[in-house]
């Protein structure tokens, strides 16, 4: 039995460290926090000193028992959780739960998993920093109080099952505010002038320094250019440099993986987790750009050996963000010698990105020669400017170029042909193109993370979960949206003549962007109205300052909480008792057909439009139609609302049965003979005709036939079908997976029946587990919430629907 027990947070870390320390040390992982506030509303003594009641989490009981046993046997227990607020608290909880004595407990910290760092840490132990622990307790208690007092107010005043919190509510607000900013944006346009010259057989572009607001001004300018001479008036050569970006943190990795590969933040994190577990990269949840001494040295050696010493530029980066706690290194490859790794294509790509970013960060700046040519126009004071760049030394660009969120066309990286001052240029054409201004871009998951990080809201371990929470609650949807068409004017001066063209362009099309839902807007408005301070973008930053004071011993944690909770709780009580329900009802105007008023509202089943008033008169019942995805009560127009009532419509009759066109949860569809056929994007639900509709029905029949791989005489219900993930068994409405390696051609009825039997046996068994085991139960509970959000009628409405008419008839 070894004399020393070292406890770290992550099992992968434990494995590595054990190798450094030798046989006298057993290294174990506690898998993060082992205790948390008790589940219910009474975990904090809000009537007294705010003392928290902690419980060992259900899924941690086994590991806690094991650690207890090992701690008892060990001569010395080394608490080696991360050196930040949460890590310090983990050590404190461990010492409490494991009943550790001060005499045989030591607290050690390291910021990097390298042998020298670990050995140095062992040589410099300290005690647990109780002030830092208290700062964590304050953080934890504040978050619980905010979350568990605000959420019930929402249940009462908006809708059941909603949630609010210090982080998520502000994240939603960012998206709501941005959406409104975009909706209120007024487009303006100006004419941009580009001249194209022929210089020794090569084309060169130059732009006018200013833009013209009106077409008339642009036209006048072109008139004046007709027949003019264009001369190089000045040539300026400026050497410039471009520096590499620092190595990845969680947030910058998420941003780059999103921009370069289109990954959502949770995909990125789970791939990175795999890379970490396989020992390919350092820890992936970090806010630090720091690299270990060892890493910098090995990058230097690698770069010198493979690219040449002139490419090496050892560099120590420092984090600018105030909220960073820097418990870990930046994300980097564990060994720079591993240029490539084994793994899935996704793992390889993400590794490549991490590798290149890290190695580039230790490489020389790129040297660029920027040339600016000024071109004068005879008879005019305006000048044209052509810029070009020549890469003199590539430096870090040899391996990595960071991308930006801005997808505007890049004007740089163009080389200019050889030019001389006084040279007269041959004009091909000058084009004046109408360019529109653009509103701020909608957030992607990754750009929202970036903004949250700038505001100091959330932590590397919570960015991805927060983004999925606000989507799960239905506050926000991630979607693609088709752009709209608009026309723009282009004037071209060519061969001394000016032509005018009106062209069309698509704009405002979105891919994987975050849009607020009606409920997201309602909740944001409600919370902003009543809990302004918590919804303030600076709220987290200001409480963080207080937490820092607690950590420095300048403030007592429960005094801080008391000061916050008093006024906060008063507002909660007042709002809960007196505030009006928040809704988003709008009157859109009158229906031209019936003359009745059209409203949009948000009901139990989501946003809907209504024609006519609610009244007791059965004959005068209003008509209802749900809003489509992407439509908001705040912005829907009366025309769009009226369109909603045009569906479902009968397209015509085919094989003696009606074809109906409508829009369902998965988009536009046709219904024929009680079968669904989706209508592709290229067709229009409102306009689709009988010919096209029957064509779609017949296409669907062919693809359904292809989907059927095998049937059995013994049971007509059982079919072998081709699905998205390969062949599977279908029986009635139930689907069953094929065992791994099972070939379709080998499937006999007996084999299939056997598979179904074993699958059926497994199913109720897993449900039993779900009922007993807490962690599984949690998952099951979350799923249920999802269902209620999407299809609430199943839970709530059955009674009402049946009872209401009977009550009325009485």
Partner DNA sequence: CAGTGAGCGAGCTTCCGCTTGACTT
Beta strands in 378-517 (DSSP E): 383-393, 424-436, 476-481, 484-494, 497-507, 510-516
> Does residue 676 bind DNA (CB under 7 A)?
yes
Beta strands in 91-186 (DSSP E): 105-107
Task: Name the residue nearer to DNA (CB basis): 72 or 763.
Answer: 763
Instruction: Give the span between the Cα atoms of 311 and 734, in whole angstroms.
Output: 61
Q: What share of the chain is helix, strand, coil (3-state, %, to 5)?
A: 40, 25, 35
Q: How many CA atoms lie within 13 A of 395 on its CB side?
A: 20
Binding residues for DNA restricted to 188-207, rule: CB under 7 A: none
Containing 680, the helix (H) or strand (E) segment is none
Map tokens 């449900």 to a residue.
Answer: 767
Task: Name the residue nearer to DNA (CB basis): 143 or 205.
Answer: 143
Among 189, 374, 462, 629, binds DNA (CB under 7 A): 462
Binding residues for DNA restricted to 542-601, rule: CB under 7 A: none
Binding residues for DNA restricted to 631-670, rule: CB under 7 A: 648, 662, 664-667, 669
Q: Is 736 a catalytic residue?
A: no
For β-strands 383-393 and 366-377, DSSP reports them as antiparallel
Binding residues for DNA restricted to 348-377, rule: CB under 7 A: none
Instruction: Give the span between the Cα atoms of 389 and 205, in whole angstroms.
Output: 13
Binding residues for DNA restricted to 112-141, rule: CB under 7 A: 140
What's the min distance (Å) between Cβ of 218 and DNA? 49
Among 1, 22, 23, 40, binds DNA (CB under 7 A): 40
Among 20, 54, 148, 749, binds DNA (CB under 7 A): 148
Instruction: Give the span between the Cα atoms of 649 and 686, in whole angstroms.
Output: 8
Among residues 359, 368, 362, 357, the alpha carbon closest in space to that of 313 is found at 362
> Does residue 168 bind DNA (CB under 7 A)?
yes
**Residues touching DNA, count (CB under 7 A):** 97
Task: Name the residue nearer to DNA (CB basis): 396 or 736.
Answer: 736
Among residues 231, 84, 144, the alpha carbon closest in space to that of 564 is found at 144
Task: Name the residue nearer to DNA (CB basis): 302 or 624.
Answer: 624
Per CB under 7 A, the segment of 36-44, 411-419, 550-558, 690-698 that binds DNA is 36-44
Surface-to-core class of residue 543, CB atoms within 10 Å of its CB (0-12 exposed, 13-18 middle, 19+ buried): buried
Per CB under 7 A, the segment of 31-39, 312-320, 333-341, 690-698 that binds DNA is 31-39
Binding residues for DNA restricted to 599-638, rule: CB under 7 A: 602-608, 610, 614, 624-626
Binding residues for DNA restricted to 226-285, rule: CB under 7 A: 273, 276-277, 283, 285
**Secondary structure (3-state) at 205:** strand
Map tokens 């970490």 to a residue.
Answer: 276
Binding residues for DNA restricted to 464-493, rule: CB under 7 A: 465-466, 469, 473
> Does residue 10 bind DNA (CB under 7 A)?
yes
Task: Name the residue nearer to DNA (CB basis): 466 or 694.
Answer: 466
Instruction: Give the span between the Cα atoms of 670 and 688, in whole angstroms.
Output: 10
Alpha helices in 239-390 (DSSP H): 250-261, 265-277, 293-307, 345-361
Per CB under 7 A, the segment of 164-172, 185-193, 228-236, 686-694 that binds DNA is 164-172
Among 2, 20, 32, 182, binds DNA (CB under 7 A): 32
What's the min distance (Å) between Cβ of 672 and DNA? 12
> Does residue 325 bind DNA (CB under 7 A)?
yes
Alpha helices in 74-125 (DSSP H): 85-97, 115-123
Among 51, 160, 542, 574, binds DNA (CB under 7 A): 160
What's the min distance (Å) between Cβ of 489 and DNA? 42
> Does residue 308 bind DNA (CB under 7 A)?
no
Task: Name the residue nearer to DNA (CB basis): 126 or 604.
Answer: 604
> Does residue 64 bind DNA (CB under 7 A)?
no
Beta strands in 209-264 (DSSP E): 230-242
Among 4, 5, 86, 176, binds DNA (CB under 7 A): 86
What's the min distance (Å) between Cβ of 180 and DNA? 22
Answer for the pair 37, 43: CB distance below 8 angstroms, yes or no. yes
Task: Name the residue nearer to DNA (CB basis): 439 or 622.
Answer: 622
Task: Name the residue nearer to DNA (CB basis): 422 or 725.
Answer: 725
Q: Which of 25, 263, 276, 283 is catalytic?
A: 283
Per CB under 7 A, the segment of 165-173, 330-338, 488-496, 684-692 that binds DNA is 165-173
Residue 157 has phi, psi (to 5 degrees) of: -100, -15
What's the min distance (Å) between Cβ of 511 and DNA? 22
What's the min distance (Å) between Cβ of 122 and DNA? 20
- Write the DSSP string, 735-746: EEPPPTT--GGG
**Secondary structure (3-state) at 621:** coil
Task: Name the residue nearer to DNA (CB basis): 482 or 791.
Answer: 791
For β-strands 4-8 and 76-79, DSSP reports them as parallel
Beta strands in 333-483 (DSSP E): 366-377, 383-393, 424-436, 476-481
> Does residue 53 bind DNA (CB under 7 A)?
no
Per CB under 7 A, the segment of 11-19, 69-77, 408-416, 548-556 that binds DNA is 11-19
Among 2, 104, 161, 490, binds DNA (CB under 7 A): 161
Binding residues for DNA restricted to 65-84, rule: CB under 7 A: 82, 84
CA distances from 670 to 624, 626, 678 (A): 21, 18, 6
Binding residues for DNA restricted to 786-805, rule: CB under 7 A: 791, 793, 795-797, 800-801, 803-804
Binding residues for DNA restricted to 727-746, rule: CB under 7 A: 728, 735, 737
Report the phi/psi class of residue 293: left, alpha or beta, with left for phi > 0 and alpha for psi in -120 to 50: alpha
How many residues does the structure list for the chain?
810
Map tokens 């005499």 to a residue.
Answer: 103
Instruction: Give the span between the Cα atoms of 333 and 339, in whole angstroms.
Output: 9
Among residues 331, 347, 333, the alpha carbon closest in space to that of 283 is found at 331
Q: Mind telling me the catalytic residues?
A: 283
């Amino acid at each position: 039995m070894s004399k020393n027990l070292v406890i770290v947070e992550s099992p992968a870390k434990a494995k590595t460290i054990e190798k450094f320390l030798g046989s006298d040390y057993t290294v174990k992982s506690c898998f993060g926090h082992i205790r948390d506030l008790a589940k219910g509303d009474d975990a904090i003594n809000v009537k007294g000193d705010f003392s928290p009641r902690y419980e060992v989490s259900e899924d941690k009981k086994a590991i806690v028992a094991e650690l207890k046993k090992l701690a008892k046997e060990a001569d010395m227990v080394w608490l080696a959780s991360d050196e930040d607020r949460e890590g310090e608290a983990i050590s404190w909880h461990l010492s409490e739960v494991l009943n550790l004595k001060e005499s045989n407990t030591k607290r050690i910290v390291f910021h990097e998993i390298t042998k020298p760092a670990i050995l140095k840490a062992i040589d410099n132990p300290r005690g647990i920093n109780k002030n830092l622990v208290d700062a964590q307790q304050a953080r934890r208690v504040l978050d619980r109080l905010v979350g568990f007092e605000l959420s019930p107010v929402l249940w009462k005043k908006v809708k059941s099952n909603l949630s609010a919190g210090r982080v998520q509510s502000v994240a939603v607000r960012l998206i709501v505010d941005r959406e409104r900013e975009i909706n209120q944006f007024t487009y303006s346009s100006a004419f941009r002038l580009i001249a194209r010259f022929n210089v020794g057989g090569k084309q060169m572009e130059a732009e006018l320094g200013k833009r013209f607001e009106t077409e008339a001004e642009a036209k006048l300018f072109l008139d004046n250019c007709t027949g003019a001479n264009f001369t190089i008036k000045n040539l300026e050569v400026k050497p410039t440099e471009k520096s590499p970006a620092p190595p990845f943190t969680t947030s910058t990795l998420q941003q780059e993986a999103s921009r370069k590969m289109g990954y959502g933040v949770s995909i990125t994190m789970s791939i990175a987790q795999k890379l970490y577990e396989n020992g390919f990269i350092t820890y992936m949840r970090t806010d630090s750009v720091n690299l270990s001494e060892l890493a910098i040295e090995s990058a230097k050696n690698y770069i010198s050996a493979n690219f040449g010493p002139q490419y090496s530029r050892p560099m120590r980066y420092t984090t600018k963000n105030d909220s960073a706690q820097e418990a870990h290194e930046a994300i980097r490859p564990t060994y720079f010698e591993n240029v490539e790794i084994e793994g899935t294509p996704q793992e390889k790509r993400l590794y490549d990105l991490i590798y290149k970013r890290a190695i580039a960060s230790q490489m020389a700046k790129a040297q660029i020669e920027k040339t600016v040519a000024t071109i004068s126009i005879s008879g005019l004071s305006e000048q044209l400017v052509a810029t070009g760049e020549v890469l003199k030394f590539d430096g870090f660009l040899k391996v990595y170029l960071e991308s930006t969120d801005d997808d505007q066309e890049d004007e740089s990286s163009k080389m200019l042909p050889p030019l001389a001052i006084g040279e007269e240029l041959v004009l091909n054409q000058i084009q004046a193109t109408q360019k529109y201004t653009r509103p701020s871009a909608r957030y992607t998951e990754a750009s929202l993370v970036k903004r949250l990080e700038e505001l100091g809201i959330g932590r590397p371990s919570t960015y991805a979960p927060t983004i999925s929470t606000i989507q799960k609650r239905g506050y926000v949807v991630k979607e693609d949206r088709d752009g709209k068409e608009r026309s723009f004017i282009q004037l071209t001066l060519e061969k001394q003549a000016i032509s005018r063209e009106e062209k069309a362009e698509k704009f405002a099309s979105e891919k994987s962007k975050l849009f607020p839902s009606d409920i997201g807007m309602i909740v944001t408005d409600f919370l902003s109205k009543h809990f302004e301070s918590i919804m303030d973008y600076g709220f987290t930053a200001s409480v963080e300052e207080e937490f820092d004071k607690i950590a420095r011993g300048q403030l007592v944690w429960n005094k801080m909480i008391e000061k916050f909770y008093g006024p906060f709780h008063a507002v909660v009580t007042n709002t809960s008792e007196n505030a009006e329900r928040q809704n988003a009802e709008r009157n859109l105007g009158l229906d031209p057909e019936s003359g009745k008023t059209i409203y949009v509202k948000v009901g139990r089943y989501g946003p809907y439009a209504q024609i006519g008033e609610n009244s007791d008169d059965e004959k005068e019942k209003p008509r209802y139609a749900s809003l489509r995805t992407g439509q908001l009560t705040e912005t829907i127009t009366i025309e769009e609302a009226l369109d909603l009532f045009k569906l479902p419509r009968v397209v015509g009759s085919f094989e003696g049965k009606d074809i109906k066109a409508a829009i369902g949860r998965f988009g536009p569809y046709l219904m024929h003979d009680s079968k669904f056929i989706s209508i592709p994007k290229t067709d229009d639900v409102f306009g689709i005709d009988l010919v096209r509709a029957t064509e779609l029905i017949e296409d669907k029949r062919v693809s359904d036939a292809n989907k059927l791989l095998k049937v059995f005489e013994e049971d007509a219900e059982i079919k072998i079908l081709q699905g998205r993930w390969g062949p599977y068994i279908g029986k009635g409405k139930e689907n069953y997976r094929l065992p791994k390696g099972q070939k379709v051609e080998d499937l006999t009825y007996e084999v299939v029946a056997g598979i179904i039997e074993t699958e059926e046996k497994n199913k109720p068994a897993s449900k039993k587990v779900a009922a007993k085991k807490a962690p599984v139960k949690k998952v099951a509970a979350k799923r249920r919430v999802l269902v209620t959000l999407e299809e609430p009628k199943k839970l709530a409405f059955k009674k009402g629907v049946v009872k209401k008419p009977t009550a009325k008839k009485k």
